[in-house]
Amino acid sequence: MVEVIIAGLMAGALILYALLGGADYGGGVWDLLATGPRAREQRQLIADAIAPVWEANHVWLILVLVILFTAFPPAFAAIGTALHIPLTLMLVGVVLRGTAFTFRHYDDQHDQVQRRWSLIFSIASIITPILLGVSVGAVASGNIRAPEAGGSFIWPWLAPFPFAVGFLALALFAFLAAVFLTVEAGDRALADDFRRRAIWAGIAVFVTAGLALLLARRGAPIIWEHLLRGRWAAPLQIATALAAIGAFAALWTRRFRLSRLLAAAQVSLILAGWATAQFPWLVVPEHTIQSAAAPDSVLRPLLVALLIGALVLAPSVYTLMRVFKGVKS
Amino acid sequence: MSDLLAARSQMAVSLIFHIVFAAIGIAMPLLMVIAEWRWQRTGDEEYLTLAKRWGRGTAILFAVGAVSGTVLSFELGLLWPRFMGYAGAIIGMPFSLEGFAFFTEAVFLGVYLYGWGKVSPRAHLLSGVAVAVSGMLSGIFVVIANAWMNTPAGFTLVNGVPTDIRPFAAMANPHAFPQTLHMTLAAYAATGFAVAGIHALLLRRDPNNGFHRKACGIALAVGAVTAVLQPFSGDIMAKAVARNQPVKLAAFEGHFETRRGAPLHIGGWPDETKGETRWALKIPKGLSLLAFNDPDAEVRGLNDFPRENWPPVAIVHLAFQLMVACGTVMALVGLWATWRRWRHPVSWPASRRFLLALALSAPLGFVAIEAGWIVTEVGRQPWIIYGIMRTEDAVTPMPGLIVPFLTFTVLYLLLGAMTVWLIWRQVIASPRGARHG
């Protein structure tokens, strides 16, 4: 039982990473695509929105990783072995995104210097989520095998389904970023720029999600089966659809705070839907939550540590958001 | 290059790169907070400029440290999946606690850097304190995990499988205290000396610059105190190694024959094939005295251990000598600084000779940290978990590991060069009028 709770907390941390860290990557996408008379203002808004929070948001990923290797060591070993290539490339993206963003902020404000850092920052912001999605897709695909069992280092991830998940991740992050930025924009014209972008990104989410779903039939049969017939599938999918429609409607009518809430709900529900569809597997089909779990003598103290850590973390993150994101108490 | 060597080299490059930023991430927030505190107490604007400058430097270096630390945590699984599959459950606890400490650090660094004027001065200073404390804690937790690799504890081996795992007993392993103490002091000493040395260099050109004087003063206070304490923690560390990893201690010293009243070797070149250390200055009974507090104690030599369990002796010996030499010079400069502060409190720290000594010793702390980690990591070879799992059994079956090794080497070389250039241009240069925070 305790291992299921910890797996749930891990999924929760991953959802928070997608909502917070994901939006920072999405900001990089809109930095690259900044156009029109307000391109400079768009870039400035993105930079101001990301700067104080991106490092804290990034730690959710570390937390997911640490929970995975503490609570489910064989699953971590299997993922590290089979997905060496996409994860290594993702790390290069993580390094370039973070450092280029910081260097841009502290380097000379000449246009040419700034453009160079912007380019590295935004391209890394696009590649990293794709590779993260590819890795998640490969874990779900059911094609990861131990090397002793003839597992390949390439084919589990270099396939249509994982890449569809990669593009879905990129679309989700870009969507979240655009919606969040409508709230943070100071004036109406700038908010409308990101409203338009949010609508387009929402359509991209719809298309890539549909594509991933279609490809799942052959690319991730177990997930496909669970998405169709799982006990939680129908209610989650209906809730996701309602959140998506609501987010669109709120964007359309310029109720940006409401759309921020609904977009976050939509993304959380999509990820929760995937997590429940993959249950009880951690790495389909070789490692389940049960089979990969560390002994209870490890899991119980870990659970306590996570709960105490959450008690420390919650007020800290709340403070951060209150100071910089105007979250009302 | 074999895949094992490529994996070890990639890990070495990643650690050599990251440890610089990790050490700065531990110590720099303390300097920054002291400067802000002085500003709040005295109202002297130069302290405020200093706090903001150091904040800016911390931001740049922390970002590089955060991403290179992320790389390392993934590399544990990408390069050493069998190690993590075996040990993840046992050493996960300190990593989990580190995760939360790092989280706190990142959150409050955000508040500190971007919260000027948005939060009260008191809350701002407290955010800085939170960054300094959680930075120190995250360093301690990670080093505890490394200490476990040297002195594994907290589990029972049954037919080669770890059972009865006790995570907190694993954290309380015999090297946890000596290693964390030694590394934490090292971080403050190295950063303090590096910062003091840079400002000392600038003070030689511009001796009355109040900004550089204040900067040098704060950095030196932190660096000198810790550098003077460091030899004592080194002694605790060496005695723990003597007890728990005798073959590693023998490699430190290039000590081949088991004997009572073993001499201390200073310098020299250990010749593994001949089994002797040549050209070393020998201090009679020194090693027995230092390792066991008894001039006649028996110290086991390398020849007592099977050859396949030896670490690369020459590398470990030279790195150890280098670390001790740097630490000794720093402790002496630290004593000199204390004496000067006491005798010349008004003109401190400006005397050209003293400033030159500071400038020359600026890199020593980081040289010592790098050498010290070579001593720890290479000295543990051929084991990844001392006495339990060999490094060659932990490596990933992934072929072609030279590619990621070269990729990260080039990436880190470029990143290191960019960072140095940026810090020089944007942080160190004398203040020249108003600039954005």
Question: What confidence tens digit (pLDDT) does each residue in A27-38 have?
Answer: 999 999 999 999
Across the interface, whether the CB atoms of B167 and A297 are under 8 A apart is answered: yes
Cβ–Cβ contact B113 with A under 8 A: yes
Task: Print pLDDT tens along chain B (437 aa).
Answer: 899 999 999 999 999 999 999 999 999 999 999 999 999 999 999 999 999 999 989 999 999 999 999 999 999 999 999 999 999 999 999 999 999 999 999 999 999 999 998 899 999 999 999 999 999 999 999 999 999 999 999 999 998 889 999 999 999 999 999 999 999 999 999 999 999 999 999 999 888 888 999 999 999 999 999 999 999 999 999 999 999 999 999 999 999 999 999 999 999 999 988 888 999 999 999 999 999 999 999 999 999 999 999 999 999 999 999 999 999 999 999 999 999 988 888 777 778 899 999 999 999 999 999 999 999 999 999 999 999 999 999 999 999 999 999 999 999 999 999 999 888 887 666 555 444 33
Structural tokens at position B212: 């550089």
3-state secondary structure of B409: helix
Percent of chain A with pLDDT over 90: 81
- Residue A327 binned pLDDT confidence (cut-offs 50, 70, 90): low
pLDDT, residue B197, reads 95
Cβ–Cβ contact B87 with A under 8 A: yes
Lowest mean pLDDT among A16-30, A306-320, B401-415: A306-320
Structural tokens at position B254: 């290039």
- Chain A residues within an 8 Å CB radius of B411: 92, 95-96
Across the interface, whether the CB atoms of A309 and B100 are under 8 A apart is answered: yes
Half-sphere exposure of B363 (CA within 13 A, CB side): 5
Residue B299, beta-bridge partner list: B259
Residue A287, beta-bridge partner list: A283
User: What is the C-alpha to C-alpha distance for residues A109 and B435, in angstroms, rounded to an integer?
Assistant: 11
Structural tokens at position A268: 């959380």
Give the global pTM.
Answer: 0.94
* Residue B137 Cα, gap to closest chain A Cα (Å): 14
Choose the closest CB to A323 out of B62, B115, B418. Answer: B115
The size of the A-B interface in CB pairs under 8 A is 203
From residue A213, alpha-carbon distances to A133, A210, A238, A273 in Å are 14, 5, 15, 12
pLDDT, residue A79, reads 95
Across the interface, whether the CB atoms of A302 and B96 are under 8 A apart is answered: yes
User: What is the C-alpha to C-alpha distance for residues A151 and A300, in angstroms, rounded to an integer?
Assistant: 33
DSSP character for B119? S
Specify the residue for token string 């490059």. Answer: B13
Choose the closest CB to B398 out of A81, A92, A107. Answer: A81
- Chain B residues within an 8 Å CB radius of A283: none
3-state secondary structure of B297: coil
Cβ–Cβ contact B90 with A under 8 A: yes
Could you tell me which of A314, A274, A62, A321 has the C-alpha nearest to residue A180? A321
Cβ–Cβ contact A134 with B under 8 A: no
CA B263 to chain centre: 28
Could you tell me which of B236, B241, B239 has the C-alpha nearest to residue B251? B241
Cβ–Cβ contact B437 with A under 8 A: no
Nearest CA in chain A to B62: A55
pLDDT, residue A229, reads 85
CA B381 to chain centre: 19
Nearest CA in chain B to A109: B436
Q: SS3 breakdown of chain B: % helix, strand, coil, rounded to 5? A: 75, 5, 20
Q: Which long-range contacts (CB under 8 A, 24 or more apart) does B322-328 make?
A: B322/B367, B322/B368, B322/B371, B323/B368, B323/B371, B323/B372, B323/B375, B324/B234, B326/B364, B326/B365, B326/B367, B326/B368, B326/B371, B327/B227, B327/B230, B327/B231, B327/B234, B327/B368, B328/B231
Cβ–Cβ contact A303 with B under 8 A: no
pLDDT, residue A111, reads 77
pLDDT, residue B96, reads 94
Nearest CA in chain A to B68: A95
Q: In residues, how long is chain B?
A: 437
Which candidate in A88, A89, A107, A114 is best for mutational testing of the B interface (most B CBs within 10 A)? Answer: A88
Cβ–Cβ contact B81 with A under 8 A: yes
Dihedrals phi, psi of B14, to nearest 5 degrees: -65, -40
With contact defined as beta carbons under 8 Å apart, do B125 and B47 qualify? no
With contact defined as beta carbons under 8 Å apart, do A222 and A283 qualify? no
Across the interface, whether the CB atoms of A77 and B68 are under 8 A apart is answered: no
Specify the residue for token string 């359309």. Answer: A252
The per-residue pLDDT for range A192-230, each reduced to its tens digit, is 999 999 999 999 999 999 999 999 999 999 999 998 888
